[in-house]
Amino acid sequence: MLSEKMWNALNEQIKWEFESSYLYLGMAAWLNDNAYPGFAHWMREQAKEEQGHAMKIYGYVEERGNRVELLPIAAPKKTWESPHEVIEQSLKHEEMVTGLINRLVDLSQEEKDHATFAFLQWFVKEQVEEEDTFRKVLDELKLVKPTCSAMLFIDRHMGKRSGD
Ligand code: FEO
Annotated domain spans of the chain: 4-158
pLDDT score for 5: 98
Q: 4-158 falls under which CATH superfamily? A: Ferritin, core subunit, four-helix bundle (1.20.1260.10)
> Which residues of the chain have a pLDDT value below 70?
146, 164
pLDDT score for 144: 86
Ligand 1 atom with minimal separation from the 97 CA: 3
Asked if 47 contacts 25 with a C-beta cutoff of 8 angstroms, the reply is: yes
Asked if 59 contacts 19 with a C-beta cutoff of 8 angstroms, the reply is: no
pLDDT score for 151: 86
Instruction: Please give the backbone phi and psi of residue 108, each rounded to the nearest 5 degrees, phi first.
Output: -60, -35
pLDDT score for 164: 61
Asked if 68 contacts 11 with a C-beta cutoff of 8 angstroms, the reply is: yes
Residue type, 110: E
Query: What is the spatial distance between Cα 134 and Cα 121, in angstroms, rounded to a whole number?
Result: 21
pLDDT score for 161: 86
**pTM, full prediction:** 0.94
CA 39 to centroid of ligand 1, rounded, Å: 18
Query: What is the spatial distance between Cα 85 and Cα 103, in angstroms, rounded to a whole number?
Result: 27
Determine whether the shortest distance from the Cβ of 50 to ligand 1 is under 6 A.
yes
pLDDT score for 54: 98
